[in-house]
């Protein structure tokens, strides 16, 4: 994949991450209001479905960029994030059913909590890989985009740690939104000149200077080589002036 195509993948990634960041912020606010107004909660649910669609598109961008760069952090991001999200969703569903059930279903709650932890760990590994990618490949991005990509991935990684607590998951959601906005900075790569990975310059050994004609002494009579300062030719015995 050419450098311009890599820029396009990360540019599309950034545009979609900005949409995800805005929708996640709106969904977060509506989710709070929805606790008191039922139809607002329904709108928040619809936004969550749109966010899922955009994330699937983002994962495609990451996967193609990973193939183009042959980068294991990017290639591992999609399966880790996707599997972690699915497992975490199942865990949340089981935990909610266990809490809302009339019968005593505490075992379902425990299974749900365990799945949430497993899913959050997988998402943590995914974002840690993304952070590592921006850190070790900063030379292929402008400095500000590379730094925002690294810090955005780090915030998303930290947010998964708050998800593990379940109770403080709302703090993780706030950090995640900030991280999404930082990651959206890669949208500026669209139309930007492609930057290639810099290669180290190998110093070339200096060539030895060729001996000048003036440094070599020869006998004007027979042409034999004579040492500097000699007064007679060792070949013919002629006097050297």
Are the CB atoms for 18 and 184 separated by under 8 Å? yes
pTM metric for this prediction: 0.74
Instruction: Read off the pLDDT of residues 57-85 as tens digits, 9 standing for 90 and up.
Output: 999 999 999 999 999 999 999 999 999 99
Q: Is 66 among the domain residues?
A: yes
- The boundaries of the domain holding residue 162 are 3-186
Please name which of 143, 154, 140, 217 lies closest in space to residue 183, comparing C-alpha atoms: 154
Instruction: Read off the pLDDT of residues 172-200 as tens digits, 9 standing for 90 and up.
Output: 999 999 999 999 999 998 766 655 444 33
Q: Is 84 among the domain residues?
A: yes
Q: Is 227 among the domain residues?
A: no
Instruction: Please give the pLDDT value at position 103.
Output: 64
Q: Is 137 among the domain residues?
A: yes
The DSSP-derived string for 196-240 is: PPP-PPPPPPPPPPPPPGGGS-B-TTT--B--TT-SB-TTT-PBP
Q: How many domains does the chain have?
A: 1
Q: Is 156 among the domain residues?
A: yes
CA–CA gap between residue 50 and residue 67 (Å, rounded): 26
**Which DSSP category does 103 fall into?**
S
Q: Is 159 among the domain residues?
A: yes
Q: Is 230 among the domain residues?
A: no
Q: Is 68 among the domain residues?
A: yes
- How many Cβ atoms from other residues are within 10 Å of residue 189's Cβ? 24
Helix then strand then coil, % of the chain, to nearest 5: 70, 0, 25
């Amino acid at each position: 994949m050419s450098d311009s195509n890599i820029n396009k993948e990360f540019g599309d990634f950034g545009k979609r991450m900005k949409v995800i960041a805005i929708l996640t912020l709106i969904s977060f606010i509506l989710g709070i209001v929805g606790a008191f107004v039922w139809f607002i909660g329904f709108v928040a649910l619809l936004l969550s479905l749109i966010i899922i669609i955009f994330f699937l598109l983002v994962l495609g961008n990451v996967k193609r960029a990973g193939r183009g760069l042959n980068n294991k952090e990017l290639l591992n991001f999609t399966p880790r994030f996707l599997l972690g999200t699915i497992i975490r969703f199942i865990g949340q569903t089981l935990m909610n059913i266990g809490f809302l059930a009339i019968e005593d279903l505490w075992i379902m709650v425990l299974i749900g909590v365990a799945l949430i932890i497993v899913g959050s760990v997988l998402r943590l590994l995914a974002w840690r890989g993304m952070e590592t990618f921006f850190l070790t490949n900063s030379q292929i991005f402008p400095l500000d985009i590379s730094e925002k990509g690294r810090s955005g991935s780090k915030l998303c990684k930290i947010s998964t740690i708050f998800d593990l607590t379940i109770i403080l998951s709302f703090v993780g959601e706030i950090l995640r939104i900030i991280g999404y906005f930082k990651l959206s900075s890669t949208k500026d790569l669209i139309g930007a000149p492609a930057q290639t990975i810099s290669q180290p310059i190998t110093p070339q050994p200096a060539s030895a200077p060729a001996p000048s004609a003036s440094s070599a002494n020869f006998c004007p009579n027979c042409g034999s080589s004579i040492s500097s300062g000699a007064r007679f030719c060792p070949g013919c015995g002629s006097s050297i002036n």
